[in-house]
């Protein structure tokens, strides 16, 4: 039978994990993120972490900008585009509807143009420009980024768990300096475009004096907001970024590359979580050759993971007999992720290794 227990064949694959300590010992780490390639378990661990923190009495928001609505799937509730939805006591989940934010963003630009130039309706050429600008990926990212900033700067929660999209995109979001630059240049370009239309508009509505500084003031306000948010997200004190990987050669290679890249962007890496480890208990059983081969392969990769990532691995999570959806499954994952031997969860076992790996920073 497949059990939910982590394999305990040696000291570093014990049933206890350091993830609880990593959060508990650093209570100022309010922003928690799991990064990694597609489908490895980011949403699963985000939900489990949010659930565990909420159970510790912390007010938690787990949120995503993923159009796939994966939080809706895992919590088995339609939360897409509905603002923060309460899941259980202390736990809220939110899925941002990025498309809606882009539409709102367009409306805002339209309204500003109308106000500034005192027009009744947006001239066709400006409307074309707004449409074209909004279709660009950078604009989409800006709208998403802005809504993330909105959530984070409001400060309504003790913890924010940002359920990220797969690595490539996540890196893009996280390389705040880059996003920030594109944002500003996009707006600056828009501002220049507006200047071009200034004349046209002035001709259309002669009596209105255009206040050029109004947009610049707006820009500076936005710049301040983005600066504040990017500081938070690359703040070693406040942010914990964990990598999710599985015991497979390519994934380990990619993860190490990504970790180097993240370190360059100054994203503080808190450690690694290894997911989908085939339960050691299977070894004693009469498993088919196919599965035995998979287990052998994993064993080699787990050795490699221990050798290269060592004490920065904060938890090992087994492959379950089914996918992780619904609160009981989330609880099972949380029990294993946060089994630090201090009791509380079904996964809590020996406290023997609770000190190992503390304060480890993979991105040193
Ligand atoms: N340990 C596990 N045992 C069994 N199923 C798992 C395990 N971890 C994750 N899963 C399942 O694998 C699938 C992918 O997991 P998840 O959605 O958390 O990955 P993700 O990294 O968020 O993916 P994406 O990159 O697409 O956002 C889900 O169906 C989830 O339930
Ligand atoms: Mg996901």
Q: Tell which wins on pLDDT, 215 or 3.
A: 215
pTM: 0.78
What pLDDT band is residue 227 in, cutting at 50, 70 and 90?
A: low
Judge if the beta carbon of residue 276 lies within 6 A of ligand 1: yes
Q: Is the pLDDT of residue 138 over 60?
A: no
Residue 227 Cα to chain centre, angstroms: 19
What pLDDT band is residue 352 in, cutting at 50, 70 and 90?
A: very low
CA 300 to each of CA 37, 63, 295, 296, 357: distance values in angstroms, whole numbers, following the listed order: 21, 35, 9, 6, 22
Min mean pLDDT across 41-50, 120-129, 266-275 is at 120-129
User: Which residue has a Cα nearest atom 16 of ligand 1?
Assistant: 41
* Distance in angstroms (rounded) separating the CA atoms of residues 364 and 360: 9
For the chain, what is the largest distance between any 2 Cα atoms, rounded to a whole number of angstroms? Answer: 88
Taking the CA of 166 as reference, the closest ligand is 1
* Distance in angstroms (rounded) separating the CA atoms of residues 213 and 221: 12
What pLDDT band is residue 248 in, cutting at 50, 70 and 90?
A: very high
* Distance in angstroms (rounded) separating the CA atoms of residues 358 and 311: 8
Residue 48 pLDDT: 98
Share of the chain above pLDDT 90, in %: 35
> How many degrees, rounded to 5, is the angle at CA 344 between CA 339 and CA 346?
65
Are the beta carbons of 160 and 30 closer than 8 angstroms?
A: yes
Judge if the beta carbon of residue 321 lies within 6 A of ligand 1: no
Handedness of CA 333, 165, 301, 13 (dihedral sign): negative
**What is the DSSP track for 223-260?**
HHHHHHHHHHHT-TTTEEEEEEE-S-HHHHHHHHHHHH
pLDDT digit string (tens) for 263-279?
A: 777 778 889 999 999 98
- Which of 5-9, 26-30, 85-89, 260-264 has maximum average pLDDT? 85-89
Q: Tell which wins on pLDDT, 331 or 8.
A: 331
pLDDT digit string (tens) for 65-114?
A: 877 889 999 999 999 999 999 999 999 999 988 788 778 877 877 787 78
pLDDT digit string (tens) for 174-183?
A: 554 455 556 5
What pLDDT band is residue 281 in, cutting at 50, 70 and 90?
A: confident
Handedness of CA 348, 354, 356, 358 (dihedral sign): positive
Mean pLDDT of 326-342: 92
Judge if the beta carbon of residue 44 lies within 6 A of ligand 1: yes
Ligand 2 centroid to Cα of residue 323, in Å, is 13
Judge if the beta carbon of residue 40 lies within 6 A of ligand 1: yes
Please choose, from the candidates 326, 16, 24, the residue with its C-alpha nearest in 3D space to the C-alpha of residue 159. 24
Residue 98 pLDDT: 78
């Amino acid at each position: 039978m497949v059990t939910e227990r982590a394999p305990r064949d040696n000291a570093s694959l014990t049933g206890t994990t350091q993830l609880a300590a990593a959060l508990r010992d650093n209570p100022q780490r309010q922003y928690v993120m799991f990064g990694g390639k597609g489908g490895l378990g980011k949403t699963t661990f985000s939900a489990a972490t949010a659930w565990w923190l909420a159970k510790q009495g912390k007010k938690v928001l787990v949120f995503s900008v993923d159009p796939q609505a994966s939080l809706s799937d895992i919590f088995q509730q339609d939360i897409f585009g509905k603002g923060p939805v309460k899941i259980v006591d202390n736990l809220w989940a939110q899925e941002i509807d990025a498309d809606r934010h882009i539409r709102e963003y367009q409306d805002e630009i339209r309204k500003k143009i109308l106000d500034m130039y005192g027009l009744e309706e947006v001239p066709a050429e400006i409307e074309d420009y707004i449409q074209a600008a909004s279709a660009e990926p950078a604009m989409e990212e800006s709208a998403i980024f802005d809504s993330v900033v909105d959530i984070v700067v409001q400060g309504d929660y003790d913890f924010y768990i940002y359920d990220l999209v797969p690595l490539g995109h996540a890196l893009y979001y996280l390389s705040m300096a880059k996003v920030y630059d594109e944002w500003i240049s996009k707006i600056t370009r828009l501002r220049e475009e507006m200047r071009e239309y200034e004349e046209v508009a002035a001709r259309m509505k002669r009596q209105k004096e255009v206040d050029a500084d109004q947009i610049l003031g707006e820009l500076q306000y936005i710049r301040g907001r983005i600066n504040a948010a990017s500081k938070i997200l690359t703040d070693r004190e406040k942010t914990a970024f964990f990598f999710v990987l599985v015991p497979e050669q390519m994934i380990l290679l990619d993860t190490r590359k990504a970790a180097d890249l993240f370190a360059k962007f100054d994203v503080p890496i808190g450690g690694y979580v290894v997911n989908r480890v085939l339960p050691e208990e299977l070894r004693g059983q009469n498993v088919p050759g196919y599965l035995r081969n998979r287990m052998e392969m994993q064993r080699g990769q787990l050795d490699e993971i221990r050798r290269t990532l060592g004490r920065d691995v904060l938890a090992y999570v087994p492959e379950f007999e089914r996918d992780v959806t619904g609160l009981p499954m989330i609880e099972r994952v949380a029990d294993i992720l946060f089994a630090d031997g201090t009791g509380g969860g079904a996964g809590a076992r020996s406290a023997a290794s609770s000190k190992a790996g503390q304060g480890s920073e993979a991105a040193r």
